[in-house]
Amino acid sequence: MHRRPPAATLCLYLLLAGGALVMLLPLGWMVLTSLKTYPEILRHPPAWLPADPQWENYRTVWDGFAYYRFFLNSCFVSVMVIAGTLLTCCPAAYAFAYCEVRHKEFWFALLLSTLMLPAQVTVIPLFKAFAALGWVDTYLPLIVPAWLGGNVFGIFLLRQFFRTIPKSFIEAARMDGASEWTILWRLIVPMSLPAVLTVVVFTFLWSWNDLFNPLIYLQSEELVTLPVGLLYFIARAEQLTGGSIGQHPWHLVMTLATVMVLPVIALFVFVQRRFIEGVAAGGVKG
């Protein structure tokens, strides 16, 4: 491995740190706001720093909000969605990358078209269908589509990555008598680990931050996920601060948003480490 000159290294770190400052600006503002009082957030022009950091805001959020309940609901939905996505998107991507069948491109284009139609117009027919199945107020409308290849983005992404793997690898494995299923899970998926983990992270984020679907399909408060819970909480926080519609208690909302983002950051850092290690391991084998 070659060495960078020290000046270049310095430049690199300066660039990274400068960019990081800009990137962290919204997050910093969020955390600072979470430590303010209600009159402070109404004050104008706003002050950067809270006069007296209100760590109690975190306690207020914890006490006034069934965080753990919504958190577990979100976890359950996310895990089921990720599992379904992996189990159906990987084989589908493999099929579109390696199986030679007629009209494959046509089928693929058809599948991709799902990404192109704005979701708003399919809401009502889908809602009617799920209502007819008696699935309203259950998690099934949120989960079942993921188990049927609902994440077309994932299929497309994985196909792009699978196609960068030389076909000779697969031919060799087929020669050894490995079944397609084994080739997929034992060879292709480990070799494309960064892509698979990317799909996991993105799927997690979408499902974790999804507001619209839980909002319309779930009715019982004890079933809702965190983003919907956040909206429930805004009203609750208004009661705590005595505020009302139009003048949201953003300090408490930001407190909750901070708490909501933490698990996502943790997952991302964890996956990133696997990401780097996984590739290093794959590189040795390759």
Partner 1 sequence: MLSRILEFLAWLAVLLLAALGFWWAGHQRHQPPADGRTEITWFVPITPLRDLYEADVAEFERRNPRIKVRVIWVPGSEYNSKLKILAAAGQLPDLFFTGDVWMSYLLPFKRDVTDFMLRDAEEIGLDDYFPEISAAMQLHGRYYILTEYMNLSLLYFNRRLFAEAGVPEPEDWWTWDDYVRAGQALTRPGGPGRPGVWGSSRVEGWWGEWLIYVRQAGGTVFTPDGRRCVLDSPEAIAGLQFYYDKSEKHGISAPAGFEPLNGFVNERVAMILGGHVNYWLNYNQMPGLDWDVQLLPEGPVTRKGGELAMAGYSVSKTSPHPEEAWALAKFLTRPEAIARIVARGSLSVRRSVAEAQMRDARPEDRPRNLAAAYRQFQYGEHIPRHSHYIEIMLQIVQPEVDRMLLGEFGPEEAGRRAAAAVNAFLATFDTRDP
Partner 2 sequence: MNTRRADRLCFWLFAGPAMAGFAAFSLWPMLYSLWLGFCQYEVIAPPRFIGLQNYIYLFLHDPSFWASVRVTLVFTVVQVPLALLAALGFALLLHQPVKARSFWRAVYFLPSILPQAAYAVIFGYIFQGDGGLLNQLLALFGIEGLAWTMSATWALPVLIMMSLWAFGYPMVIFLAGLQAVPRELFEAAHIDGAGAWARFRHITLPLISPVIFFNLVMGVIGALKVFDLAYAFSITQNIPPGGPARATLFYGLNLYQQAFGFFHMGLASAMAWLLFIFIMVVTAINFRISRRWVHYEN
Using CB under 8 A, which residues numbered 112 to 151 contact partner 2? Answer: 112-118, 120-126, 145, 147-150
Q: With CA atoms as reference, report the closest residue to 188 among 260, 99, 70.
A: 99
Give min distance, CB of 235 to partner 2, in A: 14
Give the one entry of partner 2, partner 1, none that residue 283 binds, where binding means its C-beta sits below a cut-off of 5 to 8 angstroms depending on kind: partner 2
In this complex, which beta carbon is closest to partner 1, that of residue 69 or of residue 279? 69
**Cβ-based nearer residue to partner 2, 83 or 261:** 261
For residue 75, the minimal CB distance to partner 2 (Å) is 16
Residues in contact with partner 1 by CB under 8 A are 38-39, 42-45, 76, 79-80, 83-84, 87, 123-124, 127-128, 131, 134-140, 143, 147, 215-216, 219-221, 223, 228, 231-232, 234-236, 238-239, 241-247
Task: Give burial (CB, 10 Å; 0-12/13-18/19+) of 261.
Answer: middle
Select the residue interacting with partner 2 from 10, 14, 18, 27 (CB under 8 A).
27
Q: Which stretch binds partner 2 (CB under 8 A): 10-18, 50-58, 68-76, 235-243?
A: 10-18
Name the burial class of residue 142, with classes exposed (0-12), middle (13-18) and buried (19+) by CB atoms within 10 angstroms of its CB.
Answer: buried
With CB under 5 to 8 Å by kind, the binding choice for 166 among partner 1, partner 2, none is: partner 2
Tell me how far, at minimum, the Cβ of 265 lies from partner 1, in Å. 25
Closest CA to 99 of 170, 160, 199, 151: 170
Nearest-angstrom CA–CA distance, 61 and 67: 8
Helix (H), strand (E), coil (C) string for 157-178: HHHHHHCCCCHHHHHHHHHCCC
B/e letters for 46-59, b = 16+ CB within 10 Å, e = fewer, are: eeeebeeebeebbe
Q: Could you say which of partner 1, partner 2, none residue 244 binds, taking C-beta under 5 to 8 angstroms by partner kind?
A: partner 1
Smallest distance from partner 1 to CB 274, Å = 19
d(CA 68, CA 72): 6
| 27 contact, one of partner 1, partner 2, none, CB 5-8 Å limit per kind | partner 2
Of the candidates 15, 51, 18, the residue with the CA atom closest to the CA atom of residue 35: 51
